[in-house]
Structure 1
């Protein structure tokens, strides 16, 4: 069955079960994004790093080519490669000239259906992952993000999955337990179930569908399992880091689920909170008090739920005040926005929607994200109309029942003791 999601956009369930979203757009190039619902959270317990190492291993040869020949094939087409491993999914992206779409699509399919997986490469890739982990010590914000997930989203003891408490590179213990057979078994999770391919190109829809059908014919079903994100509210931990020059602050709190009626109202509220130089956090933390050069808050989606993640970096002496001000701004949200804040945030959100869809690569990844997260393709026109239909009363009615500060979990990292 073909579903026309919006003018120029088509959503298909292909014969093997893969979901495809295609948007016809004038221009010389194409952009493709394939999202497989297997990420770092799906790493087997004790084999943390499986998803990250496997993604790199796939590029070490496919379709009868070794690693060098495969990269040469991409370069010969002038194709740009993208993607990567996240907590919940692995993405494979390519973009290039539309005339090269069939060949580029074949190269992507080779990775997943006909990978070489040379055993001699696995120890090298595991060593590279260990180097990434060692690099975390030199990046306090990244180390803080890992510690924040570890505290806020603990692993379910009954689950076979490692969960969200480790980076994509894994853990030293997990990397030492990786094996050729184990990663080949992990690859069996990849398949058509839950996978989505998004494509933007100036091409005939029927021809595009036929290309996709041929390219992914025979891909196994695989698995699509959601790893629950069970949030622990109200906790506070300080992680000592004697070599850090700053104290880094992380605040995690519940938000709105992506498929709820409150999603856009929450997005407007977050834009007012941290959406640029006119936002509340920028003024309260940086402009009025000079507490931190960098302060931010953004939505995070895990396990089908939305969460607010805020960050600031301050001097150790001023970290307690920075944290207090940040939490105070979160506690002020239930009082609602002013008319000026609402209009400014709504315009900012509209602009991000419009400009975020300008790039074919961004739009292709937006298609896969929409289907995976929202269960449908959201056209730019529809999104603009929904944002325009929001009222201050609607947003403030949501905020009246939204108190992130009351449930916030705080992790700080830096020298000294826990900021008071």
Structure 2
């Protein structure tokens, strides 16, 4: 047999994967179906009820309800339900966010029909045994206590309440929703007020209307739709909530005293563009150059040049249709003010633009991350849900890659140059021995 060197072999032409298709089922459920060759499937269901929809005074409703769903469904108790998932070798996950509850499954293609039936049982026919409510509320209280374990977590909780907190009226009624100011685990008062009936009332609002299901499997889009319709085709519409929007408290200054702390932690937040804004991609490239690893501006200015902190970071936050940038760092009490001053100076300097090297490094980083995220089935299912929520449409994997390759340094620097000064309206939250000063304005304790 003659050996043919690899370079001499004819290359097999690449076959493009079939495009994802979007279906509006008669029940009101929106289905995104992505055919993809392989032995496995992945699916993700998004129900548009999250912790921001918790009724005021019943904080923790969404988080406890999501746990309660798995305490039995249809004719199975909690143990039998867990055994049913295990018998199929299914991996399940998800959780509650501020704006929605997500349930995900993955397994072998042959088990997709059975997996969909199990998911429908959990979502549509949960047992909801009242005896489990005190146990689940206690577990949520333990989660709340755990959030007090580190200064970073305490600062994050305080920032959430001080910067984004505040109740909001529920659509079409005089009831008030708790909003974005509390963690998914709830509050101690809210958990104490939860009852089996209040949680059942919350579940009764779930339905097909406003819910999104993304499925990636080695089937045609029509075959995926057929299997989904068998179990979700007659799902009741439920109640579609108004999309929650945070109350950003511009200019807030808040200090959480921690007299014995050997570090001062700080968090700085201000509004930025949302995901559906045409400047979102330039914003993400600028953010990656600003705080994307050991070659970023913040790392160099705060740690490498001055040794002020082990790390300083900036990240994007999306809440509702709004976008925000958040900066954070921790330093010794004696150098915390200098750390904040450097963060402020670097934020101002960013508006002068990126260098060619910074731009190319940031773009390569985003392209690399995108390549890895496109490989997994679960990542693709999650990406389809994000596209539908943030953009209102499905975006093929190559679309974002093409946009990243097409964007220019001039576009990014033009976006940065046009930015208004974010600092006057920024929200500053600190934790430590003493408050810090943002410019000439002192924070009050």
**Counterpart position of 2:4:** none
- What is the deviation of 1:247? 2.1
Render the CA deviation track for 1:141-182: whole Å, top value 9, x for unaligned: 222112112121231465511001100000000001101111
**Shift in Å, 1:189:** 2.4
1:31–1:93 contact (8 Å) kept in structure 2: yes
**Does residue 113 of structure 1 match 2:120?**
no
Distance 1:341 1:113 in 2: 50
Give the match's secondary structure for 2:65.
helix
- The alpha carbon displacement at 1:217 in A equals 2.5
Q: Report the Cα offset of residue 321 of structure 1.
A: 1.7
Q: Note the residue ranges of structure 1 that are not aligned, 5 or more in a row.
A: 1-5
The two structures, once aligned, show a CA RMSD in angstroms of 1.6
Partner of 2:296: 279
SS of alignment partner, residue 306 of structure 1: strand
- The question of whether the paired residues in 2 share the 8 Å contact of 1:40 and 1:164 is answered with yes
Q: 1:404 to 1:138 in 2, by over 3 A?
A: same
Q: For residues 199 and 9 of structure 1, what CA distance do their matches in structure 2 show?
A: 10
Cα 1:184–1:145 shift into 2, 3 Å: same
For the 8 Å contact 2:56–2:167, the answer to whether it is kept is no
| Counterpart mapping for 1:21-420 below 5 A | 21-156=32-167, 158=169, 160-222=176-238, 223-242=240-259, 244-402=261-419, 403-414=421-432, 416-420=433-437
Secondary structure in 2 matching 1:155? strand
Report if the CA contact (8 A) 2:263-2:330 is conserved. yes
Deviations 1:88-119 (A, max 9, x none): 11110111111111111111111111000000
- Report the count of equivalent residues: 414
Which is worse superposed, 322-331 or 120-129?
Answer: 322-331
1:167-215 deviation per Cα after TM superposition (whole angstroms, max 9, x unaligned):
0000000001101111111112222222111111111221110111112
Which blocks of at least 5 consecutive residues in structure 2 are unaligned?
A: 1-16, 171-175, 438-445
| One of 15, 20, 32 as aligned partner of 2:31 | 20
Q: Which moved more, 1:277-286 or 1:402-411?
A: 402-411
How far apart are 1:83 and its partner, in Å?
A: 0.4
Distance 1:184 1:158 in 2: 21
Q: CA deviation at 1:327?
A: 2.1
String of CA shifts for 1:366-397, please: whole Å, max 9, x gaps. Answer: 11111011111122211111111111111111
Secondary structure of 2:323's aligned partner:
strand
In structure 1, the residue corresponding to 2:166 is in which secondary structure?
Answer: coil
Partner secondary structure for residue 84 of structure 2: helix
Maintained 8 Å contact 1:331/1:406: no
Counterparts of 2:205 and 2:321, CA distance in 1? 19
Distance 1:406 1:355, change over 3 A: farther
Query: Retained in 2: the 8 A contact 1:57–1:117?
Result: yes
Greater Cα shift, 186-195 or 117-126: 186-195
2: CA distance, partners of 1:331 / 1:193: 45
CA distance in 1, matches of 2:315, 2:385: 20
TM-score computed with the length of structure 2 as normaliser = 0.90
- Kept in 2, the 8 Å contact 1:60–1:67? The answer is yes
Residue 3 of structure 1 corresponds to: none
- Give how far 1:303 is off: 1.8
- Checking the alignment, whether the CA contact within 8 Å between 1:161 and 1:227 is kept in structure 2 is no
**TM-score for both structures, normalised by structure 1:** 0.95
Alpha-carbon separation, structure 1, partners of 2:105 and 2:30: 18
The alpha-carbon distance between structure 1 residues 69 and 157, as it changes in their structure 2 partners (threshold 3 A), is: closer
